[in-house]
Amino acid sequence: MGLPEPSAAALATVDSKGRPSVRIILLRGFDERGFAFYTNLGSRKGMDLERRDGAPAALCFYWPPLARQARIEGIASQVTEQEADEYWATRPRGHQVAAYASEQSRPLAGGRAELEARYAEWDRKLPASGIPRPPFWSGFRLAPDSIEFWEGRENRLHERVLYRREGTHWSVSALYP
C-alpha cells in the first residue's frame, strides 16, 4: 500500500510567548544526530526555532493506511552552512526560485498575482543553474529526546512503545493505549 508523501510530518514549535504552532513539513534527512528539514529562516517556524540555540520542537508522522504513527520530541538546532548548501543544491531550480520569491509567512497584500509576479521577476534575475542559497534559507535538525511508536490495534488496544534518551543510551517502555 503506497503512501502519497511518507516523509510528511506535523512539526510543532512554540513562540517566544509559549504559544504553540503546528504545520506540515517534509523530512529531508535523518541520521544518528536527528531529523532534518529546511525552511526560510524568516518563516514562523524558522523564527520559533532560531530564537535561541536549541529550541524545543516535536514531529509527528502519521500513516493512516498502515495504522502507524511515530512521535518525536527533542531540541532543534540549525544545520551547518555546508549541510544547508548541499541540500539546497539538490532542489529543483523552480523550488530555488520560489524560495527567493516568497517572503514566507508574511502577509501577501497583492494575492496570488503578486506572488506570481515576484516569482517571474526572480526567475529572470537568477542564473539558469548554480543558484546560490540565500542567507535567509537554511535547515534545522531535531535531536530526539524521545521517540514513540504507535500501532493501531483492534478494540483500541493499540501498541505503544516509548524510547527515551538517557545520556548515551535509550530506555524502552510499553505504554497503555
The three cell numbers of residue 95 are: 523550488
Phi, psi values for residue 124, rounded to 5°: -75, -40
Cα–Cα distance measured from residue 69 to residue 51, given in angstroms and rounded to the nearest whole number: 29
Residue 156 among the catalytic residues: yes
Closest CA to 61 of 151, 139, 159, 121: 151
Cα–Cα distance measured from residue 74 to residue 79, given in angstroms and rounded to the nearest whole number: 15
3-state class of 131 per DSSP?
coil
Catalytic residue among 19, 112, 124, 156: 156
Cβ count near 16 (within 10 Å): 9
Task: List, by residue number, the catalytic residues.
Answer: 156
